[in-house]
Amino acid sequence: MSISIRLKRSSVPGESPQFLLPGEVAVNITDKKLWIGDINNNPVEIVGIQGPTGNKGPTGDVGPLGPVGPQGPSADAVITFNGLTGAVQGVSSFNGLTGAVSFVNYISSFNGLTGAVQGVSSFNGLTGAVSFVNYISSFNGLTGAVQGVSSFNGLTGAVQGVSSFNGLTGAVSFVNYISSFNGLTGAVQGVSSFNGLTGAVQGVSSFNGLTGAVQGVSSFNGLTGAVQGVSSFNGATGAITSRTISVFTPLQNQPPGTSFATIDTRNSIAVLDFDDSSQESAMFVGIVPEISNFSGLLVKAHWMATSATGGTCCWGVQFEKMTTDLDSDSFDSGVTAATLTGITSGIPKITEITTSSIDGILSGDLFRLKIYRDAANASDTMTGDAELIAIELRTN
């Protein structure tokens, strides 16, 4: 006959045995869980090996929209923008559908799709940088700064030192000294070349503030009216009073065969030493640049004493126009001037010698300048060597 074996059991959901003898088995029929007693009489649940993951079920419905995050930082090129009205700070009108922007006074149109700005080669919407055609390289949309211009008013188009500026055509009318300037071509009336960024005028021999002609000027600043190497400049007439035409240093000396000043250094500065007991000289060769006519020259000798702290030093100069036989000297008459020595020997002094004895030198002429210490002159009372540092030659 068959024998029925019935385990300890329960049909109450969640119920589990509290005590089982070693090897004794119990089951929860409802929860379908099985326990076995260990050597300490504790029930241990028997768990089967986990089966493979089942197929993924269908995607559930989309959840509700989350809260709006904080506003991000403003872009560099625009400080404020009203999404309801389309208003942009510093802009008269903005069309949100077409991207068209009408700027206040100085730019008539901007295409938001192509980035094209009338009269402007490129515009960066993130940085506000504007590259203008030919005459202005950069424009800062936030500050209104224009490269090469000391001040620029982005609303009115006003540029410092300029009487009028047309933001649409690029036309600039300068105050007094340039009658017309074409911002698209860079052409300046009566000038061979003009740099719109630096104001430099190149290769011109005369400058008249009314006509735009420039004479003998290497550079011209369109903002300040300053002319390189010119002490005074009349913007209305173009008149130049005085300018530097040559600068010589000891290393350019072409000494005579005898009685010459000797090359030396002082704190690594090249100098020419002139004796106090005999007349020693130095010679320099130059070419007069293309400048206005002049009748005389000003020689400025920069020097210092080797050790003396008293007395006067007498300097003399002579000019030679190098159009005669150069196998012999033909200097014009010498002219001298004396200057008091400083109380500190190492502080440079300047002796200015004005002379009209220039041997008929004109613009473009090759010439020689001879400078000497006139030690035999009664006005030369300084003891010890005089050290020549440099010579400046100016029109007078």
Q: What is each CA distance from 394 to 67, 230, 245, 288, 352, in whole angstroms?
A: 78, 10, 5, 10, 10
Distance between CA 290 and CA 200 in Å, rounded? 18
pTM: 0.44
pLDDT tens sequence across 163-189: 555 655 656 554 434 445 555 555 555
**Residue labelled with tokens 């903005």:** 94
Report the topology of domain 247-395: Jelly Rolls (2.60.120)
Cβ atoms 321, 361 nearer than 8 A: yes
pLDDT of residue 155: 52
Domain map (residue ranges) of the chain: 8-46, 119-241, 247-395
Q: Which residue has the higher pLDDT, 206 or 93?
A: 93
Q: Which residue has the higher pLDDT, 130 or 135?
A: 130
Q: Which residue has the higher pLDDT, 329 or 85?
A: 329
Cα 86–89–90 angle (5° rounding)? 120
pLDDT of residue 360: 92
CB atoms closer than 10 angstroms to residue 273 = 18
Does the pLDDT at position 103 exceed 80? no
Distance between CA 143 and CA 249 in Å, rounded? 46
Q: What percent of the chain has pLDDT over 90?
A: 42
pLDDT tens sequence across 343-387: 999 999 999 999 999 999 998 999 999 999 999 999 999 999 999
| 259-288 average pLDDT score | 96
pLDDT of residue 185: 56
Mean pLDDT, the chain, whole residue set: 75
Q: Which of 100-104, 108-112, 320-324, 333-337 has the lowest mean pLDDT?
A: 100-104
Does the pLDDT at position 117 exceed 70? no
